Amino acid sequence: MLELLSGYSLSQILIFVIMLILAAKGLWEIVDFFKEKYQEKFKEDYDSKRDKEKLNEKFDTLFKNHKEVLGHIENFNNKLNDIQTAIDKTNDRIDNLTESDMYDIKYSIVQAYHFFVETQGWIDDYSLSVLISRYEIYSNEGGNSFIKDLMKEIRSLPKCPPPSAD
């Protein structure tokens, strides 16, 4: 150490120490710089990873909700199919009832024709009104046959009995 003090002046040693301190300070600043860069990169990676996790959570929630909605839609479609089946059955029953009603009306008009035209020879206003109403229903239900001609004859009947021949 004496050799160091004897070979160099105090000012040179002081300059050397100051330069050593400045070099250490520069090295420290370089370490801090790279440390900050590493922390920024780590923070970016961490933030990116956290954002991806949040997006995955949202996607999972949306996917779960989508599956629930699809389940509700499937249930709704099944119920619609059930309703359509019930409507079809009801329509078939209505068609059967309409056809049956047409045959009943047709039968009653034929019976009335035989009674009023062939037997009695006249018709009262109320019976004529009922037969006309029933014929209109028969026509609206799709009935079309010789009944139209029978109704023409029934309408042409007198509205009161013929005078008695006493």
Q: What is the mean pLDDT of each run of 10 residues along the chain (166 residues)?
A: 69 85 90 85 80 88 88 91 96 94 95 95 95 95 88 94 70
Q: 112 near 127, Cβ under 8 Å?
A: yes
- Is the residue at 6 inside a domain? no
Q: pTM to 2 decimals?
A: 0.54
- Is the residue at 104 inside a domain? yes
- Is the residue at 12 inside a domain? no
Q: Can you give the pLDDT at residue 36?
A: 86
**CA–CA separation, 113 vs 137, rounded Å?**
17
Residue bearing tokens 């010789």: 146
Q: Can you give the pLDDT at residue 2?
A: 64
* Residue range(s) defining the domain that contains residue 43: 23-155
The count of domains in the chain is 1
Sign for the CA dihedral angle at 140, 145, 151, 152 comes to: positive
